[in-house]
Structure 1
Amino acid sequence: MLCALDEPLAEAWLAVPEAVSGRVRVHRGSVLDIAADAVVSPANSFGWMRGGIDAVYARAFPGVEQQVRSAVLAYHGGEVPIGEAVVVPTGEPKPEWLISAPTVREPGEQLPADTVHPYLAARAVFLLWRDGRLESGGDVRAAVDTIAMPGLGTGVGGVAPETCARQVAAAWDEVFAGR
């Protein structure tokens, strides 16, 4: 589920071929409006959740920032490289999971216009969903049917909605269509 709070991002999402074909849906509104199994956090590499959608998640799911920071430390030595992702429980029944896939290294970082970070973050989410394991040992795909994804890097990072949508579509094609 591709989510957009503003119309330019919604229109960019609708231009994604999979969204038009019905394999992926577009929601005009917050990721928290959907009964998804997981939400995507386009966080920073250190797991700080103090700005943008991450601050919304931190308020909605008390303790999730500490969960993310602990996973970042345990699995990545304190810094998740852009292009990798971690999944943690939210402490809520819906969404039960939060997938942290950094689009920036440092909190508040502005991305250059030619960035590939939305692609790398989306690819990390899709690979984690397809092949990943939960800390309990179960498959992520078995636990997560619906993922709500905001614009990756389109908020604080300043990525154009069209760039984000094009890169998310390319990541989908690579992971699920082998292109």
Structure 2
Amino acid sequence: MRVPVLAPELVLCAVEQPLASAWLAVADGRPGVRVHPGSVLDIEAQAVVSPANSQGWMRGGIDAVYARAFPHVEQHVRSAVLAYHGGELPVGEAQIVATGEEEPAWLISAPTMRRPGEHLPSETVHPYLAARAVLRLWQEGRLEDGRPIRTVVRTIAMPGLGTGVGGVAPETCAHQVAAAWDEVFSSLGVG
């Protein structure tokens, strides 16, 4: 039986103008990528991205917003980090957990830093690694019940990766996310 592949849509979200401008610069010419100048929680999406830390603590930045919006999601993330990754989800890997809500039903945790509050060096590639992990999980991963993620999640809302607490420049983040998109979706003939 063939598994239907939904046309993916990545919505790059920014509440601040510098990131929105950086997103717009890289979204142009990439089918399946669009920009929303506002919160990830304003988007009709099946999943949102959490650029958390490797331990899964969700106490600052957008992660704190998620923890308030989805009261049990931090425990779900931390439990999955412990159960499947020995207590530390490395930068460059991602996991998906239920939010407990109808929409978005899923949160994809993709760390941009090892420890909470870590400031990233200017030459970091962590936004690229996190974005690539999200996109690979989206296309190749499976939910706990065995369903391919790509058949359940059509739209993912993504905030800046490392642009808050991590201190990554919006342009750096945008270019690295675009590079990850191109790498993952070029083999599929998308983007």
1:136 Cα offset (Å) = 1.2
Report the counterpart of residue 118 of structure 2 in structure 1: 109
Report the counterpart of residue 92 of structure 1 in structure 2: 101
1:67 Cα offset (Å) = 0.3
Aligned: 1:20 with 2:22: no
Amino acid at match of 1:72: V
**1:28-82 Cα shifts (integer Å, max 9, x gaps):** 0000001110000000000000000000000000100000001111110110010
* TM-score between the two structures when normalised by the length of structure 1: 0.97
SS of equivalent residue, structure 1 residue 82: coil
Which of 38, 44, 47 pairs up with 2:56? 47
Aligned: 1:136 with 2:145: yes
Distance in 1 (CA, whole Å) between partners of 2:77 and 2:145 is: 16
Aligned: 1:153 with 2:153: no
**1:100-137 Cα shifts (integer Å, max 9, x gaps):** 00000000000000000000000000000000011111
Alpha-carbon RMSD: 1.1
Report the counterpart of residue 173 of structure 2 in structure 1: 164
Report the counterpart of residue 58 of structure 1 in structure 2: 67
Runs (5+) with no aligned partner, structure 2: 1-10
Report the counterpart of residue 4 of structure 1 in structure 2: 14
SS of equivalent residue, structure 1 residue 53: helix
Distance in 2 (CA, whole Å) between partners of 1:75 and 1:147 is: 23
Distance in 2 (CA, whole Å) between partners of 1:133 and 1:70 is: 18
User: How many corresponding residue pairs?
Assistant: 177
Distance in 2 (CA, whole Å) between partners of 1:62 and 1:138 is: 25
Moved over 3 A (4+): none
Aligned: 1:31 with 2:40: yes
Runs (5+) with no aligned partner, structure 1: none
Distance in 1 (CA, whole Å) between partners of 2:78 and 2:103 is: 21
Aligned: 1:67 with 2:80: no
